[in-house]
Structure formats: C-alpha cells, structure tokens
Amino acid sequence: MMRLSSTGFAVLGAALIAISYGLARFAFGLFVPPIRDELGLSSYVIGIIGSLPLISFLLATAIAPLVTRYLGARYAAVLSGGFGVAGLALISRATDPVMLGAGVFACGICTGLMMPALTAAMQAIVRRSLHGRVSSVMNAGTSIGVIVAVPTVLFLVGAWRLAYLSFAILAGLGVIAAWLFLPSVSRIVPANAADPPPFNELPWSRLIRLTLFAFLMGFVSAAYWIFAPDLIVTLGGLPASATAWLWLAVGVAGLGGAVVADLADRNNPPITQALMLMMLSASLALLAASPDQPLLTAFSALVFGLAYMSLTGLYLMTGIRLLPGRLSVGPVLPFMAVSLGQATGSPAVGRLVEGFGYADAFAMFAALGILVAILSPFYPGAIAEAEEEEASEEESGLQAAYDSQLLDEEGEPLEDPLEEEEEQAAANS
C-alpha cells in the first residue's frame, strides 16, 4: 500500500464517493429522457427502476460492516468498485428494462459498500482530530460526481450508452486507486475503546424521530432526483442538453450543504430542518410551475441541491451523536432511512405522473414536504443531554460529533495513537 497523507486520503475518498454516489447512483435521473425514449419505458417503469439502486443500497449497507470486517477496507472498496464497473457497463449495454434494472441494482451495491470501507480506512490513516474535516471533503464527492456527469450530457447529447461506458472506465480507475492506496485494515472501532451503551439505554424516541424525518425527506426528494430532467424535457419542451445545466446547479449548490449542516448543529437543528424542507418543497413547486424557463429551472436546482445536501449532512451529524461508539451504524442509519424513502417515493411519483401528469404530481410532493417541515419541532434537536444544553461552540459541529464517538473507560475522548506517533516522531527529530 502506498502511504497517503490525511489530505491525500480526503481527495481519494471524495473521488471514490463521486464515482459511487454521484455517477453510479444520482446520475441516472439525468439520462432518463433518452433512456425512456430509446427503450420505450413508461413513467411507472422508470420509477420502479429508479428505486432498485436504493433497495440494493439498503441491502449492501446492512451487510457492509461484516464485509469490511472480513475483507478489510481495501478489498471492500475494490469489491464496491467492481460492482460499480459491472453496473455501469450493464447500463451502457441495456436493451430492455430487465438489463437496465440489473445495472442500476449493481450500482446501488457499489454505493452501499463504499462509505463503510472508507470509514474503516479513515480510522487507520487519518488523525481523529481531522475526521470531521476529512468526512466533509468526502461527502462533497456526491456533488462533485453529479457535476462530472454534466459534460457527458452537453457533449454526448442522446449518446447515453457512451456516457455510461465512460463512467464505467472511471469506476475502473477508482478500483485501481483503492487497491493501491487503501489499507487492508478491518477494525473500525479501536480495541481500547469503551463499549457502546447497551441497546436498552439508547435514546429510542430520538432515533425513531430522526429515522422518520430522514425517510420522509427521501420520499419527497425522489421526485426531483428521478424525474426532474424528464419533466423539463417532456412538460417544458426544453432540449435534452438542458438537463445538464439542471444537474450542474444541483451539484454546485450541494457543495455548500456541509457548511449549512455544520451551522445547523451549532444553532437550532429543528428550525434549520424546517427551512431546508421548505426550500426543497419550493424547488419542486417552482420546477413544476415553470419547466419551460431555463433560468427558473436552474434556480430551482440550486435551491434543491443546497437543501438536500444540507439535510443529509444534518441527519448524518444527528445519527453520529445519538449512537456513540457505533461507528458502523451511526453514520449510515440516516442514509439508510433516506434511501428507503427514495426507494418508496420513486415508484409512487411515477404512478402519480401517469395518473395526474408531472405538474400535479410534483405539486403533491411539494405539499407533503411542506407538511413535514411543519412537523420539524419534533426533530431531535436536543442532541446533548439536558444538563449539557449550554454546550459551548466547540462541542458542536461534525468534528465534535466524531469526538464524542470514541471514549475510554472513564468516559473521556479516546487518545489517538496516530497523534501520539506524530508527536513522538516530531520530538525525536
């Protein structure tokens, strides 16, 4: 294995997330118009196929800790990339819904395995005091991957098969990089860390509320991720190349989501969630109301990208805080809930599009999003215990969430052996 610095690992992680999340998972909606036309698929069938990678993501995420434990970070990431290569290649050769569905299903497995593998590798390579910063960079990979997909639409209009073949090649390069640079470590939680709280002592009420809000947000957002490009082409009459600008706006705005989520954890998570859900709902309504106006559709995508990435970042921090000592569960629980919501919402919006049309279907989902926003006071915003409500600014944010994950037997933050090694090396030099 070639040794990576923390910065190098963050860049590599962002690149692998860009491939597994941005290209293998979220880029599908960008190519729905030409795929639907060439294969003769209905909106409902597109909705079903759009839910398949989300279902496989859930299944893969559920077994990812075991896969990482037995294979190690390097081989788990290589396995993830292998599924990505196979899935993207299958999509590029798809001739019917079954073959297309098999491809997107394999891409979902790629997505579900990648983040747990990178989390295990991060424990071995990156100093614990940098985990929050490195995680923020890696999470930005989703937006980067969405942005990378844009040129393929601009320069390969209608050539979706060639676009997916190029994605498969990028995924293959990712497999090589994972093999060369990731460690074979399999332990996620250090051996000297204190045991996590027993299940009967977990804050189940807060966990259930977090899961429900994440599920509902995923349900509402499915309309945009799967059908927004098809809406502006079918209902708005815009050229297929216009969908590229839509996804570019989503990706660029999504880069700011980590900042908003971090600020939310430092201030008032329930209010921030309500605001972001209202913005997400407004993006759906605006797109449905003005699908033939390129500037308004691009603005709608900016609003959606910022709202979606902010909400996923907020749910990530809440999950980590509510499940201390459970590195294989806390960061992925909210993402599983979001994906389950998207897997449920995708065929639902497809059915509504067939029954009522795009405008009414998106309006219904926007109304649901507003209703969920109204319920935001029930979001588990009191992340700290009651006696710690006056926590300082240093005790909030993503890094603070990671700091509270690993404790020693006295309940103090666990000492980081990597930092001790660096200090000793500096002293010797």
Distance between CA 63 and CA 9 in Å, rounded?
24
C-alpha span between 167 and 164 (Å, rounded) = 5
Q: What is the mean pLDDT of residues 334-344?
A: 90
Q: What is the pTM of this model?
A: 0.81
CA 113, CA 373: separation in Å to the nearest integer?
Answer: 31
- Amino acid letter, 253: A
CA distance 335 to 312: 7
- Binned at pLDDT 50, 70 and 90, residue 99 comes out as very high
Identify the band that residue 385 occupies on the pLDDT scale cut at 50, 70 and 90.
very low
pLDDT at 366: 96
- Total residues belonging to the chain: 429
Q: What are phi and psi of 202, to 5 degrees?
A: -75, 150
Q: How confident is the model at residue 15 (pLDDT cuts 50, 70, 90)?
A: very high
Average pLDDT rounded to a whole number, residues 151-180: 88
Which is nearest to 188 in space by CA: 327, 60, 319, 323?
327
Q: Is 5 helix (H, G, I), strand (E, B) or coil?
A: coil
pLDDT of residue 30: 79
SS3 helix, strand, coil % of the chain, rounded to 5? 80, 0, 20
How many CB atoms within 10 Å of residue 421? 11
413 three-state secondary structure:
strand
Tell me, what's the pLDDT at 396? 54
Q: What is the mean pLDDT of residues 120-147?
A: 82
The mean pLDDT of 192-221, rounded to a whole number, is 81
pLDDT for the residue numbered 172: 96
- What per-residue confidence (pLDDT) applies to 126? 83
Give the per-residue pLDDT at 409. 57
Question: Which range among 54-58, 261-265, 411-415 shows the weakest confidence by mean pLDDT?
Answer: 411-415
User: Could you give the angle at the alpha carbon of 181 between the alpha carbons of 323 and 119, nearest 5°?
Assistant: 5
Backbone angles phi, psi at 331, to 5 degrees: -70, -20
CA distance 82 to 75: 10
Q: CA-to-CA distance for 391 and 113, rounded, in angstroms?
A: 35
Distance between CA 25 and CA 55 in Å, rounded?
Answer: 12
What confidence tier does 352 reach under pLDDT thresholds 50, 70, 90? Answer: very high
The pLDDT of residue 390 is 42
Q: Given a cut of 80, is residue 52 above it in pLDDT?
A: yes
| pLDDT in the model for residue 138 | 86
Q: What is the band of 240 on the pLDDT scale with cuts at 50, 70, 90?
A: confident
What's the average model confidence in pLDDT over 268-296? 92
Q: Where are the beta strands (DSSP E) in 350-402?
A: none
Distance CA 212, CA 217 (A): 9
DSSP secondary structure letter of residue 407: B
The answer for 325, left when phi > 0, alpha when psi is -120 to 50, beta otherwise, is left
Residue 3, exposed/middle/buried by CB under 10 A (0-12, 13-18, 19+)? exposed
pLDDT band for 188, please (50, 70, 90 cuts). low
Mean pLDDT of 10-26: 90
Which one has a higher pLDDT value, 27 or 288? 288
DSSP-derived letter for residue 126 is S
Quick one: tokens of 362?
């998106």
The two tokens of residue 318 are 């809440």
Q: What is the pLDDT of residue 201?
A: 66
Domains and CATH numbers, the chain: 1-188 (1.20.1250.20), 193-410 (1.20.1250.20)
Q: What is the pLDDT of residue 411?
A: 56
> Hey, what are 149's tokens?
């997909």
Query: Letter for the amino acid at 345?
Result: G
The answer to whether residues 226 and 352 touch, using CB atoms and an 8 Å cutoff, is no
Rounded distance between C-alpha atoms, residue 77 and residue 416, angstroms: 24
Query: What is the residue type of 68?
Result: T
Residue 386, pLDDT above cutoff 90: no
